[in-house]
Amino acid sequence: MGFCDELRQVSAAIWRAELDHPFVRGIGDGTLDPAKFRFYLEQDYLFLIDYAKVFAIAASRSPDLDTMAYFARLCAETLNEEMALHRSYCGEFGIAPADLEATRPAQTTRGYTGHLLQVAATGGLPEMLAVVLPCQWGYNEVARHLAAQGMPREPRYRRWIAMYASPEFEAYGRWLRARLDGLAAHLAPSDKARLKHIFNLSSRWEYLFWEMAWQRATWAVPEA
C-alpha cells in the first residue's frame, strides 16, 4: 500500500459522504435543481482560478524540468479546459462573461481557496501535492462512480460526468499520486502526519463545497 492509499484511508468516511451527498446524487440522476448547479458553477469558476495558482507555484518550485513541465500543463489545463467548460455552461444559463468575472466568493469558497494558497505559500512540493489531491483525485472518483450507475439524460450533467471521468483527467490524479508516493518514501513520520492532516482538511473542504452548492449558501453573517 502506497502513502496515497494511507491518505485515502484517513479520509475514507468523508469521501463516502461525498458520494452520498444530494448534490452529487442529483448530478448523477439528472434531478439536481439547475439553480443549484448554476450557483456551483459560479463558485467553482472562482475556485479554479486559485487552484491554478497552486499549480503555478508548484511549477516554480519543482526540482526538475519534467515536474515543472507537468505542473505547468496542469495549470494550463485548469485555466483552459476546465474553465472553458464553466464558461460554456454559464452561457447556457444566460450568465455573461462579465457577470461571471464579477461573481463574489462565498464563505466556503473563500475558506477552501485560502487553505490551498496558505499551504502553497508555506509548504514544499509534498504539501502542495497533498493539498490538491482531494480535488483532483476526488472529482475523478465521484464522476466514475456516477458514470458506473448510468449517465443521466440531462445533457449538462452528462458533460460534467464525462469530463471528470475521462481517462485524461484520471491520468492527472494518477501522476500526482505517483509523485507524492515517491516523495513520501523519504519523509519522516512527523512529515507524513502533517501531509495526512493537510489531505484531510482538503477532503473536508471538498464535502463542504458540495454542501455550499446544495444550500446556495453565501455567508453566515450579512455583508456590510
pLDDT(24) > 90: yes
pLDDT band at 80 (very low <50, low <70, confident <90, very high): confident
pLDDT band at 224 (very low <50, low <70, confident <90, very high): low
* Candidate from 11-15, 115-119, 156-160, 205-209 with smallest mean pLDDT: 156-160
Helical (H) or strand (E) element with 33: none
AA letter at 120? A
CA dihedral sign of residues 116, 119, 121, 127: negative
pLDDT(62) > 80: yes
In which residue are the cell numbers 492532516 written?
A: 197
Q: How does the average pLDDT of the chain come out, rounded? A: 93
Question: In the chain, what is the straight-line distance between the N-terminal and C-terminal CA atoms, in Å?
Answer: 50
- Most confident among 68-72, 84-88, 195-199 (mean pLDDT): 195-199
- Taking a C-beta distance cutoff of 8 angstroms, is the pair 177, 133 a contact? yes
* Candidate from 92-101, 113-122, 165-174 with smallest mean pLDDT: 92-101
Task: Give me the mean pLDDT over the 190-203 stretch.
Answer: 98
Question: Would 129 be classed as within a structural domain?
Answer: yes
120 CA to centre of own chain: 15
What does DSSP assign to residue 185?
Answer: T
Measured at the CA of 145, the angle between CA 140 and CA 147, to 5 degrees, comes to: 95
What does DSSP assign to residue 80?
Answer: I
Question: Would 223 be classed as within a structural domain?
Answer: no
- Report the catalytic residues: 135, 206
Question: Would 224 be classed as within a structural domain?
Answer: no
Q: What is the pLDDT of residue 81?
A: 82
201-210 b/e with 16+ CB inside 10 Å = b? bbbbbbbbbb
Q: What's the domain range around 77?
A: 3-215
pLDDT(184) > 80: yes
Question: Would 222 be classed as within a structural domain?
Answer: no
pLDDT tens-digit profile of 114-162? 999 999 999 999 999 999 999 999 999 999 999 999 999 999 899 999 9
Task: Give me the mean pLDDT over the 63-89 stretch.
Answer: 87
Count of domains in the chain?
A: 1
- All 3 cell numbers of residue 126? 509534498
Question: Would 115 be classed as within a structural domain?
Answer: yes
Question: Would 221 be classed as within a structural domain?
Answer: no
Q: What is the pLDDT of residue 25?
A: 98
- Percent of the chain clearing pLDDT 70 (strictly above): 100
pLDDT band at 40 (very low <50, low <70, confident <90, very high): very high
Measured at the CA of 90, the angle between CA 88 and CA 93, to 5 degrees, comes to: 120
pLDDT(185) > 80: yes
Residue 108's CATH number: 1.20.910.10
AA letter at 140? N
